[in-house]
Homo-oligomer: A and B are copies of this chain.
Amino acid sequence: MTIVKIVFHSGSGNTKALAEAVHKGSNQFADTELMEIKSNMITEGRFENKEFLNKLDKADAIIFGSPTYMGMVSGQMKCFLDATSERWMSQAWNSKLAAGFTTSLGLSGDKQSTLSYLVTFACQHGMIWISCDTPNSLFQGKSLEEATNRLSSNTGVMSQVNFGEEFKPTPGDLLTGEALGIRVAKLTKNFNK
């Protein structure tokens, strides 16, 4: 069966909520696992969890998620990404499929910087990048709350979330995440058949 891993870091819970939406989508068509990068896996700036990395080796596709902090993936996420360098050396992830998602406070807010970097990272691993193709339904008159892909992002899924504990990705952003999960699972299945 097709195996999809969703590996993410979340600070306040917003990226986790989006990761769960991606999982909801992907899990309909592939054996999908949510894998959260936790701060206690990082010692002096180095991610150290062999089991975590070993699991990813078995994936057919890996979907990467991170908040955008100061215009880029979070420090915690970057520590994890750096820890894949042995896989990069051996090209162990060559031709796996990849995709990405991110959240931040601002409507645009340099989230593209995060997603473009995740592509650069995936390409270093020889991976194949799947875009987000969900239409922006603001253009069809949906509200800011309900619209899918309301930020018009195609490199990956972007969600904008307001300040404060009580906020979450909008229903439309979650639907966009779910659609990315479905797309990745289906394309990966087709690619590996």
Residues of A within 8 A of B (CB): 39-40, 42-47, 69-76, 78-82, 84-85, 88, 91, 94-95, 104-113, 116-117, 119-133, 135-136, 138-139, 150-155, 158, 160, 163, 187, 190-191, 193
Point out the residues of chain B lying under 8 angstroms from A151, CB to CB.
Answer: 106-109
Q: How would you classify the secondary structure of chain A's contact residues: helix, strand, loop or mixed? A: mixed
Query: Considering only CB atoms, which chain B residue lies closest to A150 in the complex?
Result: B107
Known contacts: A72-B72, A107-B107. The answer to whether A155 contacts B123 by CB under 8 A is yes
* Contacting residue for A116 out of B39, B42, B111, B113, CB 8 A: B113
Known contacts: A95-B187, A112-B110, A133-B95. The answer to whether A121 contacts B71 by CB under 8 A is yes
* Contacting residue for A120 out of B40, B74, B113, B158, CB 8 A: B113
- Asked if residues B152 and A108 are in contact (CB atoms below 8 Å), the reply is yes
Point out the residues of chain B lying under 8 angstroms from A70, CB to CB.
Answer: 81-82, 84-85, 88, 121, 124
